[in-house]
Amino acid sequence: MTHTGMISVLRRAGLASAVAGGLLFAGANLAQAAGKAPTPPSQDWTFSGMFGTFDKGQLQRGFQVYKEVCASCHAMSLVKYRNLSQDGGPGFTEDQVVAIAAEYTVMDGPDEFGDMFEREAKPFDAFASPFENEQQARASNNGAYPVDLSVIAKARKNGPNYLYALLTGYVDPPAGEEMREGMSYNAYFPGYQIAMAAPLFEEGVEYTDGSPMTVEQYAADVTAFLMWTAEPKLEHRKRLGFQILMFMLVFSGLLYLSKKKLWSEVDH
């Protein structure tokens, strides 16, 4: 190998290791940014397991928590007011839904002159959004985006347990943790520093059914509500699953019996 050839091989090797090193470094940084948060502990949910169902009272309270707390920052644009009275949901009556929707105004149009106009929300409208667009949402939240919560319980791994852990996971940062401007420390948020300040406080939402007005109760209720919006047909799916299972059992039994009957007439 010539001298210059040698140098170019060395140079390339150097470049390759620099690139590899850079990638490793970037990878480590990313892993750090994405963070390794602890696995959220499992909670007792009425909707888990084969016979899981939603607790209507809990869904109604969860909706109240969303409406009074979370809705000032988070949209739920896949949910319509009329869903609140649908089978398998919180069980509001249709009149209640009309009244709930009427508390909001939505943009509609264009009218016959081509202008947009505001009107009272109706049951067929999607939940009103707190911000007009993502830029406005970010501008009001220190640059961070409060995600749409419609399907968040399914969009995050171990959704319900994670949501509950996140909402109850605000703690003092450990000694030596350098907090970035406007961030809060959360034991279950990947990376630990979250741009959402703790949203729930003891007695922050006035319950009328005697349920405890604690952060834990609010967190559990709003999580159940978010699970329902993410999977409104959960009860139906579980019921159908069970029925299919029963059918399979009976059907296998019949198959076995007819097999015995058929073969009993064959000489061995």
Binding segment (CB under 6 A) for ligand HEC, from list 76-84, 94-102, 161-169, 237-245: 161-169
Closer by beta carbon to ligand HEC, 100 or else 183 = 183
- Identify the residue among 46, 48, 96, 141 touching ligand HEC (CB under 6 A): 141
Instruction: State the virtual CA torsion across 191, 197, 185, 189 in degrees, nearest 10.
Output: -30
Contact 113, 155 (CB under 8 A): no
Task: By CB under 6 A, tell whether 205 contacts ligand HEC.
Answer: no
Q: Which of 53, 72, 93, 243 binds ligand HEC (CB under 6 A)?
A: 72
Q: Is the peptide bond before 40 cis (omega within 30 degrees of 0)?
A: no
User: Residue 97 or residue 196: which is nearer to ligand HEC going by CB?
Assistant: 196
Distance of CA 43 to the CA centre of its chain: 16
B/e letters for 254-268, b = 16+ CB within 10 Å, e = fewer, are eeeeeeeeeeeeeee
Number of residues that bind ligand HEC (CB under 6 A): 23
Does residue 70 interact with ligand HEC by CB under 6 A?
A: yes
31's torsion region: left (phi>0), alpha (psi -120 to 50) or beta? alpha
Within 8 A by CB and 6+ apart from 230, the residues are 150, 151, 152, 153, 154, 155, 159
Q: How far is the CB of 1 from ligand HEC (least distance, A)?
A: 54
Give CA–CA dist 183/195, Å, rounded.
5
Whether residue 110 is preceded by a cis peptide bond, meaning omega within 30 degrees of 0, is yes
Nearer of residues 34 and 254 to ligand HEC, judged by Cβ = 34
73 binds ligand HEC (CB under 6 A): yes
C-alpha 140/C-alpha 34 separation (Å) is 24
Contact (CB, 8 A) for 246 and 84:
no
CB of 120 to ligand HEC, least distance (A): 24
Which segment (2-10, 11-19, 28-36, 140-148) binds ligand HEC by CB under 6 A?
140-148
Interface pattern 163-192 for ligand HEC (x via CB under 6 A): x--xx-------------------------
Selected binder of ligand HEC within 67, 82, 122, 156 (CB under 6 A): 156
The one-letter amino acid at 68: E
Told to check if 101 binds ligand HEC by CB under 6 A, we report no
Q: Which parts of 215-234 interact with ligand HEC (CB under 6 A)?
A: 222
Contact (Cβ atoms closer than 8 angstroms) between residue 203 and residue 218: no
Site for ligand HEC in 23-52 (CB under 6 A): none
User: Does residue number 199 form part of the binding site for ligand HEC (CB under 6 A)?
Assistant: yes
83 or 150: CB nearest ligand HEC:
150
Which residues in this chain contact ligand HEC in the complex, by CB under 6 A?
A: 65, 69-70, 72-74, 141, 144-147, 149, 152, 156, 163, 166-167, 194-196, 199-200, 222
